[in-house]
């Protein structure tokens, strides 16, 4: 079992099941057939379930997921984000935005960070590839060898990668993005959180950057940033901070995919550069004049 990464302190613990090993012992699934049949079965089951329960797709509003539009959200936070963008430049995602590929990328590094994940990801692409079938077909030693460039416990991460590949083929017909889009939003979030290493921050980030839903996603490593900017001193409780940060974004950033991705990226960058968790460098900060924390906010 991998230890929790500090960037995501509430990450779920590793499943006791090891489907990667099952995949090896029972033989590799026939990808093309399995994918088509599973997808058809899943759509049929979901269709019947929705008809039976009267549930419409994405009809359940999640906490912090309000319907404010761009006009309603011309906020102080937007002004601060504009200032951060002038300071750091336009930001873009440096990770794969497809849900399946993000899960792979996230496992490629440990402790997970943009740098470690990118190293493991590059090595995995060179040696094995990122198709679920390729990952299931690769030997544990080859997989671990690729993941070693991304940091610690490569053998355990190789096992985890096989587990995820097996589940994506077995449960989602090889197309996780399509499966997530076909189910209510709350279910999609629960499915993502059922993968080991993914908790609320990871699920929200995947749903936002894959274009499935404009979630008020908050960078897992820096929920303190938006709280300091808008309210003042953050709590000592990570979960409370995450929810508080989500609420601020939900109320202040338009319910728009691009606007929320921009907010996520700028808050992440600012948390890594200046507004660090333990010691914010307020003297160098471009939003110090308007920051609640720097101006003595509670």
Residue of 282, 296, 297, 298 that binds ligand SF4 (CB under 6 A): 282
Q: Is the preceding omega at residue 111 within 30 degrees of 0, hence cis?
A: yes
What is the rounded CA–CA span in Å between residue 246 and residue 170?
33
Single out the segment in contact with ligand SF4 by CB under 6 A; choices: 30-38, 89-97, 176-184, 288-296: 288-296
Single out the segment in contact with ligand SF4 by CB under 6 A; choices: 19-27, 140-148, 238-246, 277-285: 277-285
CB of 296 to ligand SF4, least distance (A): 11
Single out the segment in contact with ligand SF4 by CB under 6 A; choices: 88-96, 102-110, 151-159, 273-281: 273-281
280 binds ligand SF4 (CB under 6 A): yes
143 binds ligand SF4 (CB under 6 A): no
Phi (first) and psi of residue 110, to 5 degrees: -155, 125
Contacts 24+ apart (CB under 8 A), 50-58: 55/184, 56/184, 57/182, 57/183, 57/184, 58/184, 58/185, 58/213
Single out the segment in contact with ligand SF4 by CB under 6 A; choices: 48-56, 160-168, 204-212, 290-298: 290-298
Question: Between residue 100 and residue 129, which ones bind ligand SF4 under the rule CB under 6 A?
Answer: none
Residue of 12, 89, 291, 296 that binds ligand SF4 (CB under 6 A): 291
Q: What is the DSSP-derived secondary structure letter of residue 150?
A: G
CB of 202 to ligand SF4, least distance (A): 24
CB of 72 to ligand SF4, least distance (A): 24
Point out which residues pair with 110 in neighbouring strands: 151
* Secondary structure of residue 99 in the 3-state scheme: helix
Calculated CA dihedral for residues 266, 211, 213, 43, nearest 10 degrees: -160
CB of 238 to ligand SF4, least distance (A): 17
DSSP assignment of 193-237 equals HTSTT--HHHHHHHHHHTTS-------TT-THHHHHHHTSSPPS-
What is the rounded CA–CA span in Å between residue 219 and residue 264?
6
288 binds ligand SF4 (CB under 6 A): yes
Q: For ligand SF4, what does the binding mask look like between residues 207 and 236, x meaning CB under 6 A?
A: ---------------------xx-------
Contact residues toward ligand SF4 (CB under 6 A) are: 228-229, 274-275, 280-282, 285, 287-288, 291, 293-294
């Amino acid at each position: 079992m991998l230890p929790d990464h500090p960037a995501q302190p509430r990450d779920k613990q590793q499943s006791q099941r090891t489907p990667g090993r099952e995949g090896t012992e029972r033989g590799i699934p026939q990808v093309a057939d399995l994918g088509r049949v599973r997808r058809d079965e899943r759509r049929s089951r979901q269709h019947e379930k929705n008809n039976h329960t009267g549930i419409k797709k994405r009809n359940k509003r999640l906490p912090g997921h309000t319907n404010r539009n761009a006009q309603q959200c011309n906020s102080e936070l937007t002004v601060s984000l504009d200032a951060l963008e002038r300071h750091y430049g336009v930001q873009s995602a440096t990770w794969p935005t497809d849900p399946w590929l993000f899960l792979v990328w996230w496992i490629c590094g440990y402790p997970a960070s943009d740098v470690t994940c990118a190293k493991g990801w590059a090595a995995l692409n060179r040696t094995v590839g990122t198709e679920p079938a390729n990952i299931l077909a690769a030997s544990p030693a080859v997989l671990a060898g690729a993941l070693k460039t991304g940091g610690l416990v490569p053998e355990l991460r190789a096992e985890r990668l096989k587990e995820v590949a097996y589940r994506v083929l077995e449960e989602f017909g090889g197309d996780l993005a399509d499966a997530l889009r076909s189910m209510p939003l709350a279910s999609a979030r629960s499915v993502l959180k059922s993968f080991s290493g993914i908790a609320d921050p990871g699920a929200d980030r995947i749903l936002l950057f894959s274009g499935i839903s404009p979630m008020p996603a908050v960078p897992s490593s820096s929920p303190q940033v938006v709280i300091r900017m808008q309210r003042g001193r953050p709590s000592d409780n990570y979960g409370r901070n995450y929810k508080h940060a989500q609420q601020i974004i939900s109320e202040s950033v338009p319910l728009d995919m691009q606007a929320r991705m921009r907010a996520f990226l700028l808050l992440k960058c600012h948390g890594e550069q200046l507004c660090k968790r333990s010691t914010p460098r307020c003297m160098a900060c471009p939003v110090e004049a308007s920051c609640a924390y720097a101006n003595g906010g509670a």
